[in-house]
Amino acid sequence: MQGVGFRPFVYTLALSHGLTGFVLNSPEGVRIEVEGDEARLDAFEHALKTSLPPLARIDRLHKSSKPQEHSSSFEIRQSLHAGAKHSAVLPDMALCAACEQEMNDPSNRRYGYAFTNCTNCGPRYSIVRTVPYDRPNTSMEPFAMCALCQAEYDNPLDRRYHAQPISCPACGPTLSLHRMRDGVELVRGDAAIEALAQHVRAGEIVAMKGMGGFHLMCDGENAQAVATLRERKQRPTKPFALMCKDIETIHAHALLSEAEAMMVCSIQKPIVLVKKRSTSTLPEAIAPHTDRLGLFLPYTPLHVRLFSFLKGCIVATSANRSGEPIVENAALLREKLAGVVDVYLDYDREIVNASDDSVVQLVGEKPVLLRASRGLTPQTFPTTSQCKQTILAVGAEQKNAIALFHEGKIIQSPYIGDIHTLETFGFFEKTLETLERFYGVKFDAIVCDKHPHYATSRWAKAQGVPVHTVQHHHAHIRAVMFEHGLEGPVLGVAWDGTGYGDDGTIWGGEFLRCEGKTYERVAHFKPFKLLGGEASIKEIWRILYSIFLDIPKERWGLHGEKLFEKVPKNQQEMFEKIHQKGLNSPYCSSVGRLFDAVAVLAFGLKKVSYDGESGLLIERAVKAECLDAYTFTCKESLITYEEVFLAMLKDNNALISTKFINGLVNCIIDIAQKEGLPLVVGGGVFQNKTLLERLIIASKKENIPLYFPQKITPNDGGIAIGQLMQFI
């Protein structure tokens, strides 16, 4: 890693052991030459491995001997720029405690400074153009250091030695507050922060340039402001993330375990999904249909400075149109979000590489990533592969992230998003270009999803290099197997909303026996028809109707008939014909879509406005103490559910939700016991905290080893890693 204070750490370590030589950065990584007697060299090497700086990590260490040069000192030499590029680019990091303390010290020259940082914190990925990570290769290059900053930058014993974004009020970026409708500057300099806070307190919708892009913000405790933001952004029910002034504010609104509090306060400062307190005074519109809140702390000095003028919490959501990437510059903000924002806060340092906030939740006392981005990615994984090729994996279509295999490492990109707009596809291409630029590579091969109509698959096949395809659900399981170092055989349970199956239908409720790079489909849920194709994914009542059309009507009973009484008769007749003839109604075995059907039956939810809404609604209703379960029957590898839905007609929504989740857990355990294999689970359905927690408990009770994703996301953000594992 570069930009983590590694060279000054080596410098201090060498001096403390009485060694001479040098250390420098190169595109291949860090190069160290030390000279001294054998005992001191051994002690130096041991300390090098065991007392690293907070952000540093050694993936590989190559050691060789050379004749003595009888140097008289140890020095930090200028970086080399020629050669193959192997060194990893560090993610952006949240403000560290030492810098925050300086910000709060009136006697410090960086008191209240909105861009303070050191080698232990601050922007990395968002400002770097290429490696090595030196100031001329970043968007800090236009800002000439003042004499005081230069002295810190040049001192190997200073915390800011070669901290590339180093600056102070005398030489750093400048803030400015602008009117949204025409971009006119209203306030310039540090006073712009207080002015922005005044607009927030007045109930207005504002935007602020953060680390990797703009946030849309409003007063999180002002119900009218939250409603206005929802209306303007056309975001009816998807939960908003809340940035809170401090950990005490978070505790006031949410029930946090000690481990969850540690995640909230970590150097990454991700959004953490936690249980809402019943006594919370937050508007219901913050997170409708769920008892979870996404909360995080101020993670840049600019956010910290803003909260010196605010109390409580603010909505801080990505500045973008629905389904598009986060906006990273003011011109794009005014183009995309005209009519949404009243004023915006900008600064004159360019965001080179945009990234969204990371999202995480605690499951069974272990973190599970839901979105891997700012603070976590680019993420580098060492491998034992002897493959000499450079291979690109382009992931899937939703929650996309890409991954590169190069020189024995896997480098995963930050979260890109759902690639169904030109803007997001453009972000996909820009992220790809960034990886190419960082590592100076051309691809020997590309790996993509089997789905022939994914934009990523079509792009891959147009590049003029060998292309390999990987089945979607196998990629889910292979990614988790890689994370846990498994070769199998294992029973992979891949449950999600959509994935192209080997038979050309939509899979999503799969049990795969996986060993090495091979797999066999040993069980799956009975396919049902998606009436009207993709329209069913939003108008989810169609899914339930399709399931009931597979059941003889005489078995529906009065309760079953009432389910669809608000659907006009002519519409029912039309969909019956579509179902009978299979017109634009592909078969689907997705457990994610079964969640949708249950939400319709239990809560009358006819449409969803975002992915996973049904699951959150079901989770909220689950009764913790209830162990009752519906029975899913598996015969000859086919899992049926008709009797489950008929049984639901007699229960209330809490029982339906609880027995459905428990029934899914029992289904997994039953098949795992039959197969006699360890369990590996992946896919977006396993973002459901209640399902995964109950599966953890059940697998421990039955003594079945269970592996689930932690360093990668269970959703499609991890697909690219699974794709790579088939070809390295």
Q: What is the pLDDT of residues 48-62, one digit of tens each?
A: 988 887 777 787 888
Which one, of 436, 377, 437, 447, lies nearest residue 412 by Cα? 377
**pLDDT surpassing 80 at residue 640:** yes
- Show which of 14, 47, 76 is a domain's final residue: 76
CB atoms within 10 A of CB 329: 15
509, part of any domain: yes
Using alpha carbons only, what angle is made at residue 89 by residues 87 and 91, rounded to the nearest 5 degrees? 150
E-assigned strand segments in 375-441:
379-382, 391-393, 403-406, 409-412
Whether residues 452 and 524 share a domain: the answer is no
pLDDT of residue 26: 75
Examine the pLDDT at 588 and tell me if it is beyond 60. yes
Pairing of strands 29-35, 175-179: unpaired
**HEC readout, 637-668:** CEEECHHHHHHHCCCCHHHHHHHHHHHHHHHH
* Domain assignment of residue 429, yes or no: yes
Residues 621 and 671 in one domain: yes
Predicted local distance difference test score (pLDDT) of residue 81: 60
Q: What is the pLDDT of residue 318?
A: 96
CA dist 556 → 142, 525, 589, 645 (Å) = 71, 21, 22, 10
| Same-domain check for residues 513 and 460 | no
Q: Which residues pair with 121 in a beta bridge?
A: 118
Q: Do residues 589 and 494 lie in contact, with contact meaning Cβ atoms separated by under 8 Å?
A: no
- pLDDT digits over 285-328, tens only? 999 989 999 999 999 999 999 999 999 999 999 999 888 899 99
- CATH code of the domain in which 324 resides: 3.90.870.10
What per-residue confidence (pLDDT) applies to 187?
98
Which of 243, 26, 42 lies closest to 34, judged by CA? 42
In a domain, residue 179? The reply is yes
Q: Are 616 and 682 found together in one domain?
A: yes
Residue 86 has pLDDT above 60, yes or no: no
Is the domain of 261 the same as that of 306? yes
pLDDT score for 82: 56
CATH of the domain at 449: 3.30.420.360
pLDDT at 138 > cutoff 70: yes
Arithmetic mean of pLDDT, 430-434? 95
Q: Could you give the number of structural domains in the chain? A: 4
Q: Name the residue range of residue 389's domain.
A: 379-470
Q: Confirm whether 162 is domain-assigned.
A: no
Backbone phi and psi for residue 496, each to the nearest 5 degrees, phi listed first: -155, -165
pLDDT at position 3, please? 64
Asked whether residue 339 falls in the same domain as residue 389, the answer is: no
Are 591 and 651 part of one and the same domain?
yes
Asked if 569 and 575 count as a contact pair (C-beta separation under 8 A), the reply is no
Mean pLDDT of the chain: 94
Q: Are residues 547 and 657 in the same domain?
A: yes
pLDDT tens per residue, range 348-376: 999 999 999 999 999 988 999 999 999 99
Q: Considering the domain boundaries, does residue 526 fall inside one?
A: yes
Ranges 71-80, 356-365, 571-580: which has the least confidence:
71-80
Q: Which residue has the higher pLDDT, 285 or 89?
A: 285
Distance of CA 401 to the CA centre of its chain: 9
Residues 547 and 658 in one domain: yes
Q: Which among 527, 522, 508, 525 has a CA at the least distance from the CA of 673?
A: 522
Question: In this predicted model, what pLDDT tens digit does every residue of 206-258 receive, in sequence order?
Answer: 999 999 999 999 999 999 999 999 999 999 999 999 999 999 999 999 999 99
**Residue 588 in domain:** yes
How deeply is 107 buried, as exposed, middle or buried, from its count of CB atoms within 10 A (0-12, 13-18, 19+)?
exposed
pLDDT at 271 over 80: yes
- CA-angle at 715, arms to 499 and 459, nearest 5°: 55
The model's confidence at residue 648, banded by pLDDT at 50, 70 and 90, is: very high
Q: Does residue 83 surpass a pLDDT of 90? A: no
pLDDT in tens, 440-463: 889 999 999 999 999 999 999 999
**Per-residue pLDDT band at 71 (split at 50, 70, 90):** confident
Q: What is the pLDDT of residue 207?
A: 98
Q: Are residues 418 and 349 in the same domain?
A: no
Can you read off the two tokens belonging to residue 283? 């508007």
Residue 313 β-bridge partners? 244
CATH number at residue 571: 3.30.420.40
Q: What whole-number percentage of the chain has pLDDT above 70?
A: 98
Q: Based on the domain organization, do 504 and 440 belong to the same domain?
A: no
Check pLDDT > 90 for residue 9: no
Task: Give the amino acid at 301.
Answer: P
Domain boundary among 439, 470, 501: 470
> 190 with 300, same domain?
yes
Quickly state the pLDDT bin for 85 (edges 50, 70, 90): low
The domain spanning residue 33 has which CATH number?
A: 3.30.70.100
Q: Among 299, 330, 359, identify where a domain stops.
A: 359
Instruction: Tell me, yes or no, whether 155 lies in a domain.
Output: no
pLDDT mean over 154-164:
90
User: Does a structural domain hold residue 453?
Assistant: yes
Distances 488 to 34, 263, 448, 517, 668 between C-alpha atoms, Å: 43, 32, 23, 9, 18
Q: Which pairs with CB-CB distance under 8 Å and at least 24 residues apart come from 245-252?
A: 245/298, 245/307, 245/310, 245/311, 245/312, 245/313, 246/297, 246/307, 247/297, 249/312, 249/313, 250/274, 250/295, 250/297, 252/277, 252/280
Q: Determine the Cα–Cα distance for residues 464 and 588; give it in Å rounded to an integer.
A: 33
pLDDT at 2: 59
